[in-house]
Amino acid sequence: MITLGAEARADRVKSVDSGDHETRLGAGYLQDEISIDEQLILVLGGRFDDHSVYGTKFSPRGSLRYLIAKTGTVLRVSAGKAFRAPTFNDLYWSDPWGNIGNPDLLPEISKEYDGGIEQPFGDKASIKLTAFHRRIKNLIQWEQYAPWQYTPMNIGRAEIKGFEGEASVTPVAGLTLAANYTYTNPIDELAGEKIYTIPEEQLKASVSLSFPAKTIVYLEGKHVKNYERPTEDAWQYGVLNAKITQIVEFRQGLRGEIFVGLNNIFDRKYSVVRTYDFFTDNHSGDYPMPPREIYGGVSVQF
């Protein structure tokens, strides 16, 4: 099976602080799924990006999937290359508190390898284990350049290793329980130290309820443990979110969703970024995340 796709995007910013800037991106991708036999599937593909600032890049990717028919076990490996241009916020952000973008950023170029195993238990439950290894050139991270002030910078070479485990179970029709755990070990290879802006551990658990009227109630809890500098203990936080979605069928081929959600249900005070005193290398404050918030929207698919 062959899959083709294309993307075109133009971004422009015009402001007193940042000036007038525009970028354009055109991209095309191709993927071919080849069934070598009933148990072995090879997928080969690639993406071609043409960026008005960063030029042209080709990103190949391939994967191999093997099914052990007797047990339903799936073994898989994949490898690929990726290109990511800086966002407009990365390049041209500006605010009254001294946080600024960096127009001299270079795009990220990465290579990724992963392998894993999937095991279903009938049609009611499944588990999935994955190990991954990424090498990234020019990783973009927002770093503190002065007390309480941030700007994005390129990390020359980064190595990110880790593993992920997932499990889901559907005890009764319409009810799905799921959990996901990720461990990450990110290293700045030039500095020889941890990348403190990437979490060490993330644990997610969710409950999804689907009703005959095509209403879906979704509840997700997340716990994140971050790396910390040698002079500090690791800090962690947890948050609970909910979302209700109503699926609407307007006509054949036209489907929509009406949704409302509540983030940070218990109005927890937490931070995903910490600031430091340059003179003592100690924690000097937190960058607080939003309090409890409600949102809603409508989406339509053609």
> Count of CB atoms within 10 A of residue 167's CB?
17
Residue 2 located in a structural domain = no
Inside any domain, residue 54:
no
Percentage of residues in the chain having pLDDT higher than 70: 93
Residue 54 has φ and ψ, to the nearest 5°, of -105, 5
The verdict on residue 280 lying in a domain is yes
285 dihedral zone (left: phi>0; alpha: psi -120 to 50; beta) = left
At residue 282, does pLDDT exceed 60?
no
* pLDDT for residue 123 is more than 70: yes
The answer to whether residue 212 is domain-embedded is yes
In the three-class reduction of DSSP (H, G, I as helix; E, B as strand; rest coil), residue 280 is classed as coil
Q: How confident is the model at residue 233, as a pLDDT?
A: 66
Which whole number is the average pLDDT over 161-175? 96
- Is the pLDDT confidence value at 276 over 60? no
Number of domains in the chain: 1
What is the Cα 52 distance to its own chain's centre?
25
pLDDT, average across residues 81-107: 87
Tokens 């052990």 found at: 68
Specify the DSSP element, H or E, that contains 28. Answer: strand 19-35
Written as one letter, the residue type at 224 is V
Q: Does 7 reside within a domain?
A: no
Specify if 56 maps to a domain. no
Rounded CA-CA distance 302/256 in Å is 9
Q: Do the domain assignments include residue 116?
A: yes
Lowest mean pLDDT among 108-122, 203-217, 261-275: 261-275
Q: What predicted TM-score, i.e. pTM, was given to this entire model?
A: 0.81
pLDDT of residue 15: 73
Give me the CATH number covering residue 260. 2.40.170.20
Domain span at residue 215? 64-301
CA 122 – CA 170 distance, rounded (Å): 10
Token pair in block for residue 236:
């962690």
Residue 39 placed within a domain: no
Q: What is the pLDDT of residue 94?
A: 80
